Amino acid sequence: MQSVSYSPTDPAVLADPFPHYAELRKGPAAQYIEVDDLWVVSRFTEVDAALRSPALLSSKALWALFGGVVSARSGPRPDIRELAAAQPRSLIAMDPPGHVPLRRLAAPMFTKKAVDGYAPMIRRICEELADEMLEARDGGEVDLIESFHHPLPVRVIADILGIHAERRREFKVWSDILIKRLSGEGDSEEEQVELKRMMDYFGEIIRVRKRDPGEDLISLILQNNRDLDVPLTDWDLFNFCSLLLSAGNETTTNLLGNLFNAFFDFPEQEVLARAEPDISAVVEEILRYESTVQGLVRLANDGVVVGDVEIPPDSMMLLLTGSANRDETRWPDPDRFDITRKRIPHLGFGTGIHHCLGAALARLETTIAWDVLRTRTAAITPADEAIRECNIILRGFSAMPVQVRAS
């Protein structure tokens, strides 16, 4: 069993994981991280195959993140399967056959056809946010995350869920706590009070929708829930709603933040992007270059072999999608952000049965957001150092001070 010095919890890795990924890709197909009692997979072929193998790799491992036990640094790791059994049913932490009917509860509102219908609403929100951002400039400086990247997806997902967008500041607090729990944090007394407020809020929304359904996503879930062999409990429903809120928020916020950071590092690409009629090329390249989701955890069942490496049963595994998307055997000069790059499939939204349900929505939000911003502004440039979120799974920014010059 080969052990390496890399650790996904190392602050230096969290700040800039890509040189570490490059070293991992030079080694075996799967490598053991002794300090974390964790196996990592870093190359595209093996990560892609692993994500398509739910019979071999269980998604129940995700509960280890929320329990703060993905790393074994703090002591012996509890039995992950027992930990998962005590949790509510969750779309992203379930295996077949239970996963499919749960995904079908919400899938109709995230098809390409359904998502295209949201385009006028998304463009209206983007135009309103651009107006507010340009009016609020103090000497030309604004926080791009606070003024645009965060409120956009919150308002969109609130509209789809049929909840009150004016409470978006609370949504941001709740979402931040849920994301912190991916690193085993978010359990302070104050944060527990906020989570209780979130449970109460969604509990009331669920009760209202049961009594008076509408055409929103929560109403659809409740309607389709009646067709399940074992309908979701209120606890399951609360978990479903909180997942949709946080995932619908964080994915696009981080995607837009990463896009502008790439533009700052490669200004010639922004010049091209401002003139590029095919915005989808811009979106697909940022999904490859700096994926919002850098890795996914799985729990090995019996008989898992990655390349020529045999993984012991019940081992925790980290599938590094962020590394797979920089695999030099698949993309020439992979550490360069290049919107003219030949487009081939990446793992920016995962793959297999857990391919991101909201992928089409995140793509559309990012496409329209960039179209509005490039039209309404002549330049967006850094005003100060951006503040990056440090999380072993998600990669994005919490603040991005910029100078904005209107067109």
DSSP character string of 167-217: GHHHHHHHHHHHHHGGGT---SHHHHHHHHHHHHHHHHHHHHHHHS--SSH
Q: What number is the average pLDDT over the span 299-319?
A: 95
Those residues whose C-beta lies under 8 Å from the C-beta of residue 127, and which sit 6 or more positions away, are: 372, 376
* Residue closest to 318 by CA, chosen among 53, 35, 61, 23: 61
CA angle 159, 162, 166 (to 5 degrees): 65
| pTM exceeding 0.85 | yes
- String of DSSP letters for 142-179: EEHIIIIITHHHHHHHHHHHT--GGGHHHHHHHHHHHH
Most confidently predicted of 102-111, 194-203, 234-243, 334-343: 334-343
Residue 166 backbone phi and psi in degrees, to 5 = -65, -10
Those residues whose C-beta lies under 8 Å from the C-beta of residue 1, and which sit 6 or more positions away, are: 32
Those residues whose C-beta lies under 8 Å from the C-beta of residue 128, and which sit 6 or more positions away, are: none
Confidence of residue 138 (pLDDT cuts 50, 70, 90): low
Of 165 and 195, more confident: 195
pLDDT at 223 over 80: yes
Going from the C-alpha of 302 to that of each of 55, 56, 57, 77, 308, the distances in angstroms are 9, 7, 9, 19, 15
Confidence of residue 75 (pLDDT cuts 50, 70, 90): low
β-pair partners for 317 = 39, 298
d(CA 72, CA 267): 41
pLDDT 10s digits, 321-354: 999 999 999 999 999 999 999 999 999 999 999 9
Tokens of 198: 């979130």
Those residues whose C-beta lies under 8 Å from the C-beta of residue 159, and which sit 6 or more positions away, are: 118, 121, 165
pLDDT at 185 over 80: no
β-pair partners for 58 = 299
pLDDT at 5 over 80: no
Q: Is 324 in contact with 293 (CB distance < 8 Å)?
A: no
Confidence of residue 72 (pLDDT cuts 50, 70, 90): low
Q: Residue 219: its pLDDT value, please? A: 94
d(CA 114, CA 215): 13
pLDDT at 186 over 70: no
Q: What number is the average pLDDT over the span 63-87?
A: 76
pLDDT at 399 over 90: yes
Tokens of 279: 């915005």
Q: How many CB atoms lie within 10 A of CB 79?
A: 9
pLDDT at 365 over 70: yes
